[in-house]
Chains A and B, each alone.
Chain A
Amino acid sequence: MTGTIRTVFAQDQSAEAAVHACRTALGEEPADLVVAFVGGKHNPEAALSALRAAFPGVTLTGGAAAGVISSHGFGYAGFEIGIIAFHGADVTPVVVTTRDLLAGEFAAGETLGAAVQAHTQDGQAVILLFDSVASTAPLKLHPASQLMAGFQAGLGGRELHVVGGGLLTDINLSDGWLLDGAQICKHAAAALIFPVGIVAETVIFHGCRPASSFLDITAIEGAEVLALNGEPALTVVERMLGLTLGTTSGQQLSLVATLGQKQGDPYAPFDENAYVNRLILQANPERGSLTLFEPDFELGARVQIMSRDNILMLESVTRGVGELRERMAGKASMLGLYIDCAGRASVMSGAETEEAELVVETLAPDFPFMGFYSGVEIAPFAGTSRPLDWTGVLTVLQAAR
């Protein structure tokens, strides 16, 4: 391959200065596409203006990031900027976008999926980025499960390696935005389709352990779980945990516990890879319900209350990176991308070790590497790419043999 991929990171209160530092670090290297992850304290317009000035005529995509992770630096204070610069047709992804998430995530996903289908063959790698926040007051997310269901429908059976993440300005889910090629957009999604000669290897890091026996969802409306085992869901969870969740603010709940659905044999030994977890977005004492990040649990689903486990989270990284290294062997690695649930940052999880730093240290990439903190992660799971919570998704793009 003749193309180049380069990653740079900078941190500065001024978006202009941070972009300038990135541009300087890149040198005179030309770029065909720039993917920028912009810390949420930067003014989006100022960041865009600085990017345009630094990369005149270059297609710009990416968007807000609750934090940026790179082998050159790391942070989630809100002033970070991480850039991936692609140059050369054999490495540069094609970008297709939609701005229609607000009108309906499924439909927007379907349109995007159909557009991606038209540009791809089976086995190609795709990175999907989307604005996570549908509304700030009341807080409402763009459900990735509906976006992905639509996207899969649009793909019409095309089998792709899709990873991605929801873009957030900060860990408090204050807002999100996307750069759709040239503009700053709300309610938008972008698919970055990598050329045929590039393949992806992905590993998912977990960090939750079941903390209850199975509970049946006996009433649910979208993402709002109304009843578990025939009782108000909030009452059940509070009683089982011995905690009064209803008095805490909604966002704190996601620190305490998640609901997890075990895939496959429910009585098989614990395997972190068997669980799909859903963070709790809100507790609603009046309705006795819990609102999850995603509306993809169904009536009758058997779930468990899951506890975060920081030790497990770090062990999962070490184990997962080891597995990935084995799979990577023998192929030239071109880019490492890490999409990390914002809750895994130690400021939120309380972990002594920064999990993202452990990823960088353990992987020790001698190839370009970039990551960002996300609202939701998308990765191949049980045969299809789907949204995940409280995970870290590490993908390495390699030259196909």
Chain B
Amino acid sequence: MNVPATQNFEQLQRELDFYRREYDDMGARLVRLQEEQSRAAREARRSKIVARLVRDAYQIVHQDIFASKIGGLILAMVADTALCDKAAFLNRDPMNAQNFVVEHALGGMGADALEMPSPPAFLFTASGKLTDPAAEPLIGLIGVPYILWAYDEESGRGLLLGKKFEGNIHRPFESRDAEIVEVVLAVYIDLLLRKNAEATMRMARQAAEEASNARARFLANLSHELRSPLNTIIGFSGLMLERRAHAVTPEQRDEFARQIQAAGRSLLALANDILDFSSLGHARLQLRRDWVPVGPLLHAVARALTQEITARGVWVDVLPVPPQLQANIDYDRFRQILTNLLGNAIKFTPPGGRIELGACLAGHTGLRLSIRDNGIGIRQEDLAKALEPFVQLKSETHEHPHGAGLGLPIAKQLVEAHDGSLNLASTYGKGTEVTILLPEGSARLT
């Protein structure tokens, strides 16, 4: 039977329409399926990001870095996930609980700090969501509209992520993203605690090692420093007691007595130094500050060491000091500082050498004191050691200098007790300059 052409055409048209509908429907299903797969992949990406961040961040545990570097490294890891355009760790100001300081930042921030009276534990902004008023200062700080924030009340630290746009790579933030920021923040805080604990342990170990070294040095030094004067005392007193054929003359007796007295004074000075250093290391020194004329103080110190200066054959000059210059210091302690420093300079300056004592204002009301010699100097590598207790630096000319090696450390501690600093500069073979700087408010011109 022949089918009319029109009927055949209609049949074909219907068939074509059918296939077209089915094709379109299948195509739409394909698109939706692809979208669902992509959405699922993006969801899975969140977990992957979290896992990766945790894994990468904990690698830091094994790295020998300071706690202060951790935040920057973690922000770089966050950036590497392409999650945001900007990021920052904020830290509550210990002096003002409403103030949060930017500790680490990735991308420019609008300020270094912001006020936040009651930071929420978590928040996010998205174009499809009303903005929480608490988000406004954070948006102002980071300078982009879409943010993700987590805050840990106990540690006072917060993590802020921000992006300029939504869409494509940067889908809108949502509540489930809390997982990311909270985990990253927790990891950061945990790592900080670990690194700080490590640092504390390291410092404690270092202190213990230093104490042990100091004790060893002390014992080694002490045996020498005690033995010499004690030998003098025993030796000369023995001579005085001996019943010899030739009686000790009165002149000799006087000389022996002087030697015994000098040895006793040396022992007393040693005992004083040890007691001083020990007390300075264990308790905060109580200073009796007063306004002291600086020029007369320098002259008094130089006069007190006249015997040593003469014996050594060195020249000591007190450089001109403004007569009105006064320092707010503990007179006795400062005299002790200067005596120690000048004593050292005398000891390490060869006969004929020159030592200069000077003082002037530093800034408006700070004080600068200096003791400069043209003695044997200190090698660069020994400068730090010179400030350690019980250290006696060896030199070509002084194989074993006398003293407990406490002069400089005591002087340094006493200067620091005055809120000042003691600096040592030296050129080996040319001389040394010790500079004391006292902060603003320590000096005046009357």
What 0/1 pattern do residues 336 to 351 of A give for CB contact below 8 A with B? 0000001101111111
Which among A79, A240, A348, A352 is the interface contact of B79 at CB below 8 angstroms? A79
Give the B interface residue count (CB, 8 A). 36
Which among B28, B39, B40, B79 is the interface contact of A78 at CB below 8 angstroms? B79
Which bracket fits the contact residues of A?
A: 35 or more
Which residues does chain B contribute within 8 Å of A172, judged by CB atoms? 164-165, 167-170
> Which segment, of A21-29, A104-112, A303-311, A327-335, faces chain B?
A303-311
B254 at the interface (CB under 8 A from A): no
What 0/1 pattern do residues 1 to 45 of B give for CB contact below 8 A with A? 000000000000000000010011011101110110111111001
| Bound-state Cα–Cα, A282 to B147, Å | 24
A251 near B31 (CB under 8 angstroms)? Answer: no
A251 near B167 (CB under 8 angstroms)? Answer: yes
| Bound-state Cα–Cα, A305 to B26, Å | 12
Which residues does chain B contribute within 8 Å of A346, judged by CB atoms? 41
Chain A, Cβ-Cβ closest to B167: A251
| Bound-state Cα–Cα, A342 to B170, Å | 13
Task: Report the minimal beta-carbon distance from B159 to chain A, rounded to whole angstroms.
Answer: 17
Which residues does chain A contribute within 8 Å of B167, judged by CB atoms? 172, 249-252
Which residues does chain B contribute within 8 Å of A349, judged by CB atoms? 38
| Bound-state Cα–Cα, A297 to B166, Å | 28
Chain B, Cβ-Cβ closest to A211: B27
Task: Report the minimal beta-carbon distance from B89 to chain A, rounded to whole angstroms.
Answer: 14
| Bound-state Cα–Cα, A78 to B84, Å | 10
| Bound-state Cα–Cα, A353 to B288, Å | 74
A244 at the interface (CB under 8 A from B): no
A170 at the interface (CB under 8 A from B): yes
A347 near B37 (CB under 8 angstroms)? Answer: no
B106 near A352 (CB under 8 angstroms)? Answer: no
Which residues does chain A contribute within 8 Å of B166, judged by CB atoms? 249, 251-252
A307 near B30 (CB under 8 angstroms)? Answer: yes
Task: Report the minimal beta-carbon distance from B97 to chain A, rounded to whole angstroms.
Answer: 31
B168 near A307 (CB under 8 angstroms)? Answer: no
Which residues does chain A contribute within 8 Å of B28, judged by CB atoms? 211-212, 240-242
B255 at the interface (CB under 8 A from A): no
Near A by CB (< 8 A), chain B positions 111-168 give 127, 164-168
A41 at the interface (CB under 8 A from B): yes
| A41-B79, A249-B166, A250-B167 known; A242-B37 Cβ under 8 A | no
Which among A213, A308, A345 is the interface contact of B23 at CB below 8 angstroms? A213
Which among B20, B76, B81, B169 is the interface contact of A13 at CB below 8 angstroms? B76
A213 near B80 (CB under 8 angstroms)? Answer: no
B363 at the interface (CB under 8 A from A): no
| Bound-state Cα–Cα, A252 to B168, Å | 5
B296 at the interface (CB under 8 A from A): no
Task: Report the minimal beta-carbon distance from A277 to chain B, rounded to whole angstroms.
Answer: 14
| Bound-state Cα–Cα, A318 to B154, Å | 53
Which among A78, A213, A309 is the interface contact of B24 at CB below 8 angstroms? A213
Listed from nearest, the 8 A-B pairs whose CB atoms lie closest are: A350-B38, A211-B27, A251-B167, A350-B41, A171-B169, A307-B31, A172-B165, A77-B80
8 CB-based A-B contacts, threshold 8 Å? A13-B79, A75-B80, A172-B167, A172-B168, A241-B31, A241-B32, A309-B34, A342-B169
Apart from A41-B107, A211-B28, A349-B38, 12 more pairs, CB < 8 Å: A13-B72, A78-B79, A241-B28, A249-B127, A252-B166, A252-B167, A307-B31, A343-B168, A345-B169, A348-B168, A350-B41, A352-B41
